[in-house]
Amino acid sequence: MKRRKVKMKNMGFAAVVILVLVMVFIFCFVKDRSLKQNGKTTRQDVEEISDFENVSYNHAKEYAKEKKLEFNATYDYSDTITRDKIISGSIDDNKLNVVVSLGSIPVDTFKEKKVNELGRVPIMMYHGIINTTENKYTGGNVDKDGYNRTSGAFLKDLELYYEKGYRMIRLADYVNGIIDVELGYSPIILTFDDGNANNFKVIKKNEDGSLEFDPNSAIGVLETIKKKHPDMNVTATFFLNGGLCNQPEYNEDIVKWLVEHGYDVGNHTISHVDFTKIGNDKTREEVGKLYQKLDSIIPDKYVHIIALPFGSPYKRSHTNYQFIVEGEWEGYKYHTDAALRVGWEPEVSPFDKNFDTSFLKRVRAYDNNGNEFDITMTFKLLEKNRYISDGEKNFITIPSSIKDKLNETNLKVITYEEG
C-alpha cells in the first residue's frame, strides 16, 4: 500500500507539471496572437537578430516585414562592410533602423567623374512655347528678346541638356538642398513664367476627366521627352498669375494635373506687377491673393516660391521686399521660401557659402550666337564649373581644394584630392 501511495503522489506531481506547461504554452500562444493582431512586436521578439552587422539589406527588410516592423534605411560608406550589407541596426518604437553600406568611398571614381557638389546649377527661364516654324529671329527665338521659343527649339534644348549629362530636379528640392542625381551627372532646373496657354494647351477633356494636351505645347514636349528619356527625371515649375493657365474652362483641371504628374506650381503675382511701382498694401495683395488662389485649388501642394515679375524690386532693401517674403492679405497669412530673379547666369550650389534663396539667378533660355549668357554661352561656361553629383543625396562630395567655400551643413562631407 505504501508503494502505491508513493506512485500516486508521483503521478499527481507529474500531472501538475504537465498542467503548468500547458498553461504556459497557452499563455504564450495567446500573447503572440494578440501581438500579431495588434500589429506590434516587442524587443524580446527580435532578440535572435540583435546583432545586425553584415546582415544583407534584403534579409533585414524581410525580417522587418515578418515582424511587422517599420523599415527605415540610411546609407554610409564603409571600408569593412561590403556594399548592401548592414553596418549597424537597432529597434526603436516598433521600427527597424539600419545603416546600409555603400562599400568603400570610391575616390578614384570621384576623380574620374570630376565630382564637384559646389559647382554651378542652371535654372533655365522659359516663357511661351509656340508652335511655329517661322525663323524671323535668331535661332529658336520667336520674339526679339528671346523670351518665347518655338516648340522645335524647346525640344532641341531638352535633348541638348540630356546629351550634356544634365538631369532635371525640382526647384523646391534645390532650394532645400536636396540634389538627387546619378553619379557623374549634373542637376538642371526648368521654370516657366506667366502661365501662357501655350505651356499647357488642352485639346480636349475626356469623359473620364483626363486631359489631352497639344503635343507642341511645353507640357506636350516635356511629356514626349519623359517617355523617350525616363532617366532624365522630367519636371518643371510653372509660375502663374491671376489668369492661372489662361484657359478658363480648364484652369483648375490643369493646375491639379500638373502637381499630380510631377510638376510644380508657384507664385508670379496676381497681375504681373512691377514691385518698384506699387506700395506695401498692393504688394501684400499681389502676393497673398495668388497664394490664396492656389491654396483653394491645390492646398499644401504648391511651392512657396515666387518668380519676381521683371525681376523687381532688384534689391532686398526695397520697402516692398519684406512683404514679398511674408505678410497677410485680408486675413490670409502667407510666406515665401525663395524668390527668383530674371537673372543671367547659373546659380551656385545650395551648399555654397554664397547660396541665397532670396535672390536666385536664372538663365534666359534663348539664342544669341553664343553671347550675353544665351544657351550656348551658358553651357560652354558650365564645362568648367558645373555641379557634378556623387550619386548620393545624403553626402556632399567636393575636391579638397575648395572646401573653404562649403557652407555649414548637417550632411556628411567627403573630400578628395584631385589629380
Closest CA to 334 of 300, 299, 291: 291
Measured in degrees and rounded to the nearest 5, phi and psi for residue 28 equal -65, -40
d(CA 7, CA 165): 88
pLDDT digits (tens, 9 = 90+) for 318-354: 999 999 999 999 999 999 999 999 978 999 999 999 9
Per-residue pLDDT of the chain (419 residues; tens, 9 = 90+): 334 333 434 446 556 556 655 565 554 544 444 333 344 444 444 445 557 888 999 999 999 999 999 999 999 999 999 999 999 999 988 999 999 999 999 999 999 999 999 999 999 999 999 999 887 899 999 999 999 999 999 999 999 999 999 999 999 999 999 999 999 999 999 999 999 999 999 999 999 999 999 999 999 999 999 999 999 999 999 999 999 999 999 999 999 999 999 999 999 999 999 999 999 999 999 999 999 999 999 999 999 999 999 999 999 999 999 999 999 999 999 999 999 999 789 999 999 999 999 999 999 999 999 999 999 999 999 999 999 999 999 999 999 999 999 999 999 999 999 97
The answer to whether 219 touches 227, Cβ cutoff 8 Å, is no
From residue 69, how far is each of 55, 92, 94, 98 by CA, in Å?
A: 17, 9, 5, 12
Angle at 259 between CA 255 and CA 262, to 5 degrees: 135
**HEC profile for 104-165?**
CCCHHHHHHHCCECCCEECEEEECEEECCCCCCCCCCECCCCCCEEEHHHHHHHHHHHHHCC
Closest CA to 150 of 161, 164, 136, 162: 136
pTM over 0.95: no
CB atoms within 10 A of CB 147: 18
Q: Which helix (H) or strand (E) holds 66?
A: helix 57-66
The answer to whether 310 touches 273, Cβ cutoff 8 Å, is no
